[in-house]
Amino acid sequence: MNLSAPCLVPSWPLPPGVCAAFSWRTGGVSQAPFDSLNLGSHVGDAAAAVQHNRAQWARQLGCRTVFLDQVHGIALQSLEADTPDGLRADAAWTAQAGVACSVLVADCLPVLLCDADGAAVSAGHAGWRGLAGVGGTGVLEVQSGVHRAGEVLAWLGPCIGPRVFEVGEEVREAFTAVVPGATACFQPGQARGKWLADLAGLARQRLQALGIERVFGNDGSPPWCTVSNPSRFFSYRREGVCGRMAASIWRLD
């Protein structure tokens, strides 16, 4: 990834007319502990700073950006040019040009999807709860439903890495009870009953089960870990009170 760029531009073979970006934590006006490009309005930051940062992000993208009220669920929202901010959902999709699907993260995994012909794009917020879902139906299963099976590209953004994401037995069971092969994404933690989870690896498994084989981005290596790279990324696990980054995807006019 290009660390000198003003944002992280995903490296994946998008069709002409589709763009994507992921924000660094730097370059905005928010004060500590939200320094500085905080895009989350729900974390306790000054409203004027968040508004400034969001307007700056929209200018950088060159299109309108819609922000959701994310609740670690699996709801999907369709976006139009006049869709307001704050609708409760953890994924968004659109076939309309000039409006960006965006999700906010600070350890959870952002997942961007795009039809191979660029007809539709979507962004999903995949923490472990949303990724696991209920009975094998999570946010990625819902998100992928608006795309054409077998003709979809996926990009996984930065998230908490497999060396530091310690979870309990209930998290492991939420995945392995549905997909036995998910055991490969969990390694024993230091304490009894604790496991180190590979969130990006679990997402890759779920996408592949949906027939989405062209998956790019986060491979679980240290540079993608939000916890381990404080100069680049916000991390709720590391900081507790912190800002939020955005993963955005949009179709050009």
Chain segment 82-91, per-residue pLDDT in tens: 999 999 999 9
Instruction: Determine the average pLDDT of the residues in 153-162.
Output: 98
Q: What pLDDT is stored for residue 4 in this prediction?
A: 59
**CATH code for the part of the protein at 18-161+211-251:** 3.60.140.10
Chain segment 206-246, per-residue pLDDT in tens: 999 999 999 999 999 999 999 999 999 999 999 999 999 99
Nearest to 108 by CA among 172, 183, 199, 45: 199
Each domain of the chain, given as residue ranges in start order, spans 18-161+211-251
Residue 84, φ and ψ in degrees, nearest 5: -80, 160
Residue 180 confidence class, pLDDT cut points 50, 70, 90 = confident
The partner residues of 18 in beta bridges, in order of sequence, read 251
Q: What pLDDT is stored for residue 5 in this prediction?
A: 74
In degrees, rounded to 5, the angle at the alpha carbon of residue 119 between the alpha carbons of residues 114 and 79 is 80
**Contact in structure between 98 and 134 (CB atoms under 8 Å):** no
Q: What pLDDT is stored for residue 251 in this prediction?
A: 97
Handedness of CA 178, 181, 185, 187 (dihedral sign): positive
Query: How long a stretch of residues is the chain?
Result: 253
Cα–Cα distance measured from residue 15 to residue 196, given in angstroms and rounded to the nearest whole number: 36
